[in-house]
């Protein structure tokens, strides 16, 4: 078995400083120190060799419920100009298959900051480093049954699931990649698809993800999501979304 593929394997953080490179990591699983140190070096080499990355963070967690090889979570931030600097979150299998991808502008972290700070590059970089630095904190990994409380619900966030399914149905209808960017105006059509998502399908997802491990993350502004593996859908599903 991959030494990183143990349930609860530790998280590693690699950050590139504004003027040069520096690596930083933490370890709570001493049983895999040597393997994890190798992983840290590999990640450091990857980041240092990539001129388009400012920060990268990796974690290994069991998310698809098979209790075998853990999934790899990767968060990266590019070095682009302030108005195009993007945070990318990916979840991949032990064989590097893509299970989930979400991208958002780094400046979204400044939505509730002081006026004008979104145009302050140093402030945006500080906020982005802070948020990406804690994206894979232990508190981000929760049981699926805990997801509703992050969207202010008591039972389940039916709307989050409904629109997630509708988005994927829209992608299929347009022959779009599962996790690729959506075209301008897509949400008008997704709203139409949402009306036809059956309650039975939603409830099936609620039932099967309740006992699955889930991952919660903040994408800036009013966007907090909880995702979990849905066996019936064969993919990661957003089971909660909130402000």
Check pLDDT > 80 for residue 159: yes
pLDDT over 90 percentage in the chain: 66
pLDDT digit string (tens) for 164-177? 999 999 999 999 99
Check pLDDT > 60 for residue 31: no
Q: What is the pTM of this model?
A: 0.79
In angstroms, rounded to a whole number, what is the distance separating the alpha carbons of residues 125 and 117?
11
Closest CA to 156 of 241, 42, 222: 241
Tokens of 223: 């966007």
The ranges assigned to domains in the chain are 12-136, 142-242
In angstroms, rounded to a whole number, what is the distance separating the alpha carbons of residues 204 and 165?
12
In angstroms, rounded to a whole number, what is the distance separating the alpha carbons of residues 109 and 105?
8
Residue 218: CB atoms within 10 Å: 16
In angstroms, rounded to a whole number, what is the distance separating the alpha carbons of residues 88 and 12?
16
Task: Give the bridge partners for 88, in sequence order.
Answer: 76, 103
Sheet bearing 224-230, strands edge to edge: 141-143, 213-218, 224-230, 235-242
In angstroms, rounded to a whole number, what is the distance separating the alpha carbons of residues 233 and 165?
9
Overall average pLDDT of the 94-115 stretch: 94
pLDDT at 106: 96
Position with higher pLDDT, 138 vs 5 = 138
Cα 182 to Cα 8, 102, 163, 196, 206, distances in angstroms: 33, 11, 14, 20, 25
Residues whose CB falls within 8 Å of the CB of residue 107, separated by 6 or more in sequence, listed in order = 82, 83, 85, 118, 124, 220
């Amino acid at each position: 078995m991959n030494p990183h593929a143990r349930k609860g394997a530790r998280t590693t953080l690699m950050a590139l400083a504004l003027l040069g490179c520096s690596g930083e990591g933490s370890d709570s699983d001493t049983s895999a120190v040597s393997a994890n140190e190798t992983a840290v070096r590999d990640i450091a080499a990857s980041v240092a060799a990539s001129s388009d990355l400012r920060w990268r963070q990796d974690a290994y967690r069991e998310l698809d419920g098979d209790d075998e090889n853990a999934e790899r979570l990767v968060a990266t931030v590019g070095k682009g100009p302030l108005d195009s600097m993007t945070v990318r979150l990916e979840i991949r299998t032990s064989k590097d298959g893509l299970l989930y991808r979400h991208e958002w502008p780094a400046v979204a972290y400044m939505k509730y900051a002081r006026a004008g700070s979104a145009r302050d590059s140093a402030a945006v970089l500080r906020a982005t480093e802070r948020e990406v630095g804690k994206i894979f904190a232990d508190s981000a990994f929760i049981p699926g049954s805990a997801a509703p409380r992050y969207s202010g619900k008591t039972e389940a966030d039916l709307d989050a699931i409904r629109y997630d399914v509708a988005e994927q149905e829209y992608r299929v209808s347009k022959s779009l990649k599962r996790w690729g960017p959506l075209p301008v105006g897509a949400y008008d059509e997704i709203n139409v698809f949402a009306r036809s998502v059956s309650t039975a399908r939603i409830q099936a997802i609620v039932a099967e993800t309740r006992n699955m491990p889930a991952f919660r993350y903040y994408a800036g502004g009013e966007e907090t999501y909880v995702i979990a593996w849905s066996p019936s859908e064969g993919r990661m599903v957003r089971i909660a979304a909130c402000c």
